Structure 1
Amino acid sequence: MDGIAIRQKRPSATEVTCTKDYWNRKGFFALNDQAVCDSNYVFTWMSCRTPGSSHDSTELAVSDLGLLLSDRRNPLTMTLIADGLCIAADEAYADSEVLTVPWPGGGGGDMWRDGYNFYQSSARIHIEQAFGQLVWRWGILWRPLRMPFAKRPLVIKAAFLLHNFCRDNDAVPLAALVDAADDRARMDLNESNVPDAPRTRAGQAGSRLRRRMTAAVESAGRVRPPVHR
């Protein structure tokens, strides 16, 4: 989980109560958007309810998800706790039984807390990458939103949904490169079929394993998936 500030043209006094509320700390007018994604960069939840000056934890607190996670008697929250499941977030959020955040101060010199912070950050990097894909995929987000203020949250939500559509219909995952129908061809790629070439400097010839996997990719006719910008 993390937040992203979506740039927008300054709303007028007839559209919002206080236009200054939308001026965020990064120096532009914005809407505060919170989102959760999975390891495939698919957004599983998003909320766009607060102005750009709002803290991430505030946006979460007023969202439907935030209200649900704060109620430990809620069946879903109880299930998450019982199963040991949680959402990884940064220091902007409060630590809880369902929201895991880093130890402050880099772990305070404790090697184990520092280790936890490293792996927690590794899990959290997906949301940063998902935001990057979202912004660069849709040119409308490259400049401040200028449509009527009431339509801006809907436009942002549409961008998230279209991003998910692209991810769901993206290239075949690497794990599916060789399916059951290709098992026989893969099994034929043994040491007698792929001779061990002499190693050159920096291991240019590659290991037997890497050559077998490369041969399997070639046999299946798989090429590098296109990079979406």
Structure 2
Amino acid sequence: YKQYFALTWLGVAGADQELLYGAYVSPGGQGDAGSWPLCDLARWIKKHGLPKGRWINADEAFKGSESCITPYPGSLGSDHRKANFNHFKSGLRMPVEQCFGRNYGLWGVFWRPSRMGIDRFPHLVSACFKLSNFMLRYKEAEREQDRCDEEPFRADDGSERSFDDVRAMLKRNYVADPVATGLPRAAPRRRNGRWTLPSGQARWHRAAMMDSSALRDTLADRVVTWGRVRPGGQPGTVAGA
């Protein structure tokens, strides 16, 4: 995307592969670490923190903190404690990668360049992920029980249901988080004939990104305590021991 016009879209997914939050926050040339502090969710977490035992599992493109855990950077060499932690942390990220891969495979609008205006495309992305969440929640057994694979699209008299009926069914089965800001509020806006991102987005300098986290060190020590070792690796030792 660095050679073309693009927008950075950030999403947060849960362990059940559902998308929990998404927002457009910066031009496509800006990296994930610089884009994350600009979104409403990051600012809210910085102010209020997360409940004890809760943290965001991010990859190496983000800045590590007490609420956002990233892998240990660089070549770890013989540091088996850090290498083992990185291995098991990476495994926990699989549902996140599957969430985005699943949506890419489900919706053909992501397979080709879009001719839709950038003021509308964020809403399309939001709709695709909401429908994906609905499909995950409405599992096969429940669809069979309610006969929703056929009945929702037919009226009592046998005629086809209208789009309004289907829309009402989706609203009953998908309740959006009223607190989450989501895509629409973070969408670009047209100002003086030009497309711009929401104002007030400060520059984020990579030089200020010192990657450190006491919580990450604690989790790495727990991996050692629990005796977890990556395939082909060796047991680590608790820091300071």
**TM-score by structure 1 length?**
0.58
Cα shift readout 1:161-189 (whole Å, capped 9, x = no counterpart): 1111111113359xxxxxxxxxxxxxxxx
SS class of match (1:105): coil
Deviation above 4 Å: which 4+ runs of structure 1? none
C-alpha change, 1:130 and 1:28, in structure 2 (3 Å) is: farther
Q: 2:34 aligns with which of 58, 62, 71?
A: 58
Partner of 1:109: 78
How do residues 20-169 of structure 1 correspond to structure 2 at under 5 angstroms? 24-25=1-2, 27-71=3-47, 74=48, 77=49, 79-80=50-51, 83-169=52-138
Q: Distance in 2 between matches of 1:68 and 1:106?
A: 33
Q: Distance in 1 between matches of 2:108 and 2:133?
A: 16
Cα shift readout 1:44-92 (whole Å, capped 9, x = no counterpart): 1111222211211222111011111222xx2xx1x52xx1321100111
Identical-pair percentage? 30
SS class of match (1:145): coil
Cα shift readout 1:4-45 (whole Å, capped 9, x = no counterpart): xxxxxxxxxxxxxxxxxxxx23x5443211111112111111
Q: Distance in 2 between matches of 1:171 and 1:101?
A: 35
Q: Distance in 2 between matches of 1:110 and 1:56?
A: 27
How do residues 183-194 of structure 1 correspond to structure 2 at under 5 angstroms? none
What displacement does 1:107 show?
3.0
Say whether the 8 Å CA contact 1:91–1:102 is kept in structure 2: yes
C-alpha change, 1:31 and 1:41, in structure 2 (3 Å) is: same
Higher RCO by CA contacts (8 Å cutoff, separation 6 or greater): 2
What displacement does 1:116 show?
0.2
Name which one, 1 or 2, has greater alpha-carbon Rg: 1
C-alpha change, 1:135 and 1:64, in structure 2 (3 Å) is: same
State the one-letter code of the partner of 1:146. Answer: R
SS class of match (1:91): coil
C-alpha change, 1:97 and 1:172, in structure 2 (3 Å) is: farther
What displacement does 1:106 show?
4.2
What displacement does 1:108 show?
4.3
SS class of match (1:150): coil
SS class of match (1:149): coil
State the one-letter code of the partner of 2:99. Answer: A
C-alpha change, 1:48 and 1:172, in structure 2 (3 Å) is: farther
Number of residues of Structure 1 aligned to a counterpart in Structure 2:
142
Q: Distance in 2 between matches of 1:116 and 1:62?
A: 29
Cα shift readout 1:197-223 (whole Å, capped 9, x = no counterpart): xxxxxxxxxxxxxxxxxxxxxxxxxxx
SS class of match (2:41): helix
State the one-letter code of the partner of 2:111. Answer: W
RMSD: 1.8
Q: Distance in 2 between matches of 1:103 and 1:44?
A: 25
Q: Distance in 1 between matches of 2:8 and 2:137?
A: 26
Structure 2 stretches lacking a partner, 5+ long? 143-241
SS class of match (1:161): helix
